[in-house]
Amino acid sequence: MSQPAQQRFAGQVALVTGASRGIGFAAARRFLAEGASVCITARRPAGLASARDELVALSAPERVIIAGGAADDPEHQQAAVAATLQAFGRLDVLVYNTGINPTYGPLLDLDPGVARKMFEVNLLAALFWVKQAHAAWMGANGGAIVNVSSVAGLGSSPNLAFYGITKAALISLTKQLAVELAPAIRVNAVAPAVIRTRFAEALYADDEAAVAASYALKRIGEPDDVAGAIAYLASSDAGWTTGQTLVIDGGALGSRG
């Protein structure tokens, strides 16, 4: 990633969930490059520590902290927000990037326990991270929130249907929070298509060329493609934008006419 010339987040602090790799890591790296300090969270300690080392190599150790835990664990949510405030004294940006999809197949074959877990992680946890951030800092000081949804939430998604349903609900949650938290807090979302991440690898690994051909730009997305959009929505450049979902799909929706 080239170093952005602008320093839109100088003096600010961002907390990014699910940031040990992929989109979350790219977003944290972008915030650092533009002047922010960051707290990154993830469930696996080894991956989180490795991500921290990579980020520290790009900035200064005092500008990066980590908080390990499951995104849907209320104690982890509270602890991560508290650690961010303790380390940096503020919390200007929250990016909810955590999502799971442990199932593949028709909706009628969906296991109820799996469905509940997906709903808790992909939707309810996003709400309760916002609640923690609001109580700790943003309610009194304002800020920006960006939720990472998916193009699966914009229409039918064969064999990924419940994942799409949770991501559609996240888009709706984004709109509702944007109204309730305005004017001091802006809430937006991004909806990526297939991005080159471990999470999405099964969707393109067998025939990347065929997947790329379905997009107008003739390639699959990269984490930095989404990170740039997240940074825009979190920045003052989007100061009159809230309740919106920015689709990042290489032109797939537009190419369908």
- Whether 7 maps to a domain, the answer reads no
Return mean pLDDT, the chain: 93
User: How many domains are there within the chain?
Assistant: 1
**Stated pTM of the model:** 0.94
At residue 5, the pLDDT reads 59
At residue 255, the pLDDT reads 42
- Whether 184 maps to a domain, the answer reads yes
Alpha-carbon dihedral 122, 203, 95, 6, rounded to 10 degrees:
-170
Buried b (16+ CB within 10 A) or exposed e, 40-52: bbbbeeeebeebb
- Of the residues 96, 163, 204, 215, only one is catalytic, namely 163
Note whether 13 and 39 are within 8 A (CB). Answer: yes
- Whether 56 maps to a domain, the answer reads yes
Instruction: Please say whether the dihedral angle defined by the alpha carbons of residues 204, 210, 212 and 216, taken in this order, is positive or negative.
Output: negative
Distance CA 251, CA 242 (A): 23
At residue 220, the pLDDT reads 85
- Phi and psi for 219 in degrees, rounded to 5? -155, 160
At residue 4, the pLDDT reads 59
Tell me whether residue 232 is one of the annotated catalytic residues. Answer: no
- Whether 5 maps to a domain, the answer reads no
State pLDDT tens for residues 145-194: 999 999 999 998 889 999 999 999 999 999 999 999 999 999 999 999 98
State pLDDT tens for residues 41-63: 999 999 999 999 999 998 889 99
State pLDDT tens for residues 63-74: 999 999 999 999
- Whether 84 maps to a domain, the answer reads yes
- Residue numbers of the domain that contains 50: 13-252
- Whether 6 maps to a domain, the answer reads no
Note whether 235 and 8 are within 8 A (CB). Answer: yes
pLDDT at 2 over 60: no
State pLDDT tens for residues 191-202: 999 888 777 666
Note whether 52 and 60 are within 8 A (CB). Answer: no
Percent of the chain whose predicted confidence (pLDDT) is above 90: 81
Note whether 70 and 43 are within 8 A (CB). Answer: yes
Q: How confident is the model at residue 29 (pLDDT cuts 50, 70, 90)?
A: very high
- Phi and psi for 196 in degrees, rounded to 5? -75, 85
At residue 206, the pLDDT reads 72
pLDDT at 99 over 80: yes
At residue 197, the pLDDT reads 77
- Whether 134 maps to a domain, the answer reads yes
| Domain at 103, CATH number | 3.40.50.720
Q: How confident is the model at residue 232 (pLDDT cuts 50, 70, 90)?
A: very high
pLDDT at 90 over 80: yes
Which residue in 10, 83, 12 sits closest to 52, CA to CA?
Answer: 83
HEC-encoded secondary structure of the chain: CCCCCCCCCCCCEEEECCCCCHHHHHHHHHHHHCCCEEEEEECCHHHHHHHHHHHHHHCCHHHEEEEECCCCCHHHHHHHHHHHHHHHCCCCEEEECCCCCCCCCCHHHCCHHHHHHHHHHHHHHHHHHHHHHHHHHHHHHCEEEEEECCHHHHCCCCCCHHHHHHHHHHHHHHHHHHHHHCCCEEEEEEEECCECCCCCHHHCCCCHHHHHHCCCCCCCECHHHHHHHHHHHHCHHHCCCCCCEEEECCCHHHHCC
At residue 256, the pLDDT reads 43
- Tokens standing for 12? 């600010």
**Sequence letter at residue 102:** P
Q: How confident is the model at residue 253 (pLDDT cuts 50, 70, 90)?
A: low
At residue 196, the pLDDT reads 86
- Whether 102 maps to a domain, the answer reads yes
- Strand 13-16 and strand 185-192: the pairing is unpaired
